[in-house]
Amino acid sequence: MKNLDSFLKMYGELTEQTITVNFEESDKVPSEALDYLGETIQVSDLSGARNAINLVNQHARNGKELSKGLHRPSFAIRGVIEGFYGTPWTHNQRKRGLIHFAKKNMNSFIFAPKDDPWQRFDWRTPFQASFLKTTEELVQLGRDLLVDVSVCVSPGLTISYSSQEDLSALLVRYTQLHQIGVRRFGLLLDDIPGDLQYPEDKKNFATLAEAHAKLSNDVLSEITKLGHDTSLFVCPLQYHGRGHEPYISELGKKLDPAIDLMWTGRQICSEYLEVIDAKIFSLTPQSAHFTGITFRLTMLPWCTNYISAQFRKEMLN
């Protein structure tokens, strides 16, 4: 394992947590997991060490001792989306948020504030230097905390899917983001008109799903030229339901399998997500692109539930 001692020191300082156990490296422990033996904890990677620090300190604060044995996350992607309407978080709130997410064993933060003009309304304009500077700070802090920072663009209100100029404008932004260290990109096509808007688009595409698939595939094709470690996820126009609806069925069949789709379950604000839904998706052509909040196929999970008052207090105050 690379730089375990330096990581433990840095992470303890960033999160103001103490390191009270000894660590041993073991390739027998799964990634992100830890095996607590009593006096020592075995891990195979830095994520496992981070999660171990969090669990030991959490139990200590509650006056308990971590139980011996293997501890591992329940699902692969765990994080928070800043994707709400209303006043966006400040830069300092995002930095405090990243620390809080890391302490909760999360590994993902998606940066997509709906009402910040850069995200939905001014998407054709290249990012300003000031935005890139603060976003790079978030990316680096996330890297130190083992929280991946993704950045999204939402062009769907005004984009022409037939326009090479519009595609190029999107790619300028993704290229700028790649230059400051972003490797996972979001293309958000939710909360937009449900029909094709421009004459050229109506001429070139039979359905909106076909246009969305073409745009998404083109974006993926171009960003993969930036590096082999880049990836793309898409929030479709319809991001909830059972998976057999016409739009999402067509989109899923036409998307490149490397693209992840966001899905919230049967409802926009689902109280629960059923395993049976994952099984249904796994048996249909479009399912290869869906992820539920508590399971992973090749989908990206998200949930529109409101952040609890206690969570807001811990993170933002």
Pick 284 or 130 by higher pLDDT. Answer: 130
Confidence at residue 275, expressed as pLDDT on a 0 to 100 scale? 72
For the chain, which residues make up each domain, given as ranges? 4-71, 79-316
* Active-site residue identified among 116, 144, 166, 191: 191
The CATH architecture to which 79-316 belongs is Alpha-Beta Barrel (3.20)
Confidence at residue 154, expressed as pLDDT on a 0 to 100 scale? 97
Q: From CA 279, how far away is CA 22, in angstroms rounded?
A: 41
What pLDDT digit, counting tens, does each position of 142-154 carry? 999 999 999 999 9
Q: What is the mean pLDDT of the chain?
A: 87
What pLDDT digit, counting tens, does each position of 154-167 carry? 999 999 999 999 99
What pLDDT digit, counting tens, does each position of 51-99 carry? 999 999 999 999 998 999 999 998 888 899 999 999 999 999 999 999 9
Q: Please tell me whether the overall predicted TM-score, pTM, comes out greater than 0.85 for this model.
A: yes
Q: From CA 80, how far away is CA 101, in angstroms rounded?
A: 8
293 pLDDT exceeds 70? no
295 pLDDT exceeds 50? no
Confidence at residue 264, expressed as pLDDT on a 0 to 100 scale? 78
Q: Give the side-chain half-sphere CA count within 13 A for 32.
A: 13
**170: its two tokens:** 């999107």
- Element containing residue 204 per DSSP (H, E): helix 199-204
Answer whether 237's CB lies under 8 Å from 189's CB.
Answer: yes
Confidence at residue 31, expressed as pLDDT on a 0 to 100 scale? 96
Confidence at residue 308, expressed as pLDDT on a 0 to 100 scale? 44
191 included as an active-site residue? yes
What pLDDT digit, counting tens, does each position of 236-281 carry? 998 877 777 889 889 988 999 899 888 777 766 767 667 776 666 5
Give the pLDDT band of residue 297 (cuts 50, 70, 90): very low
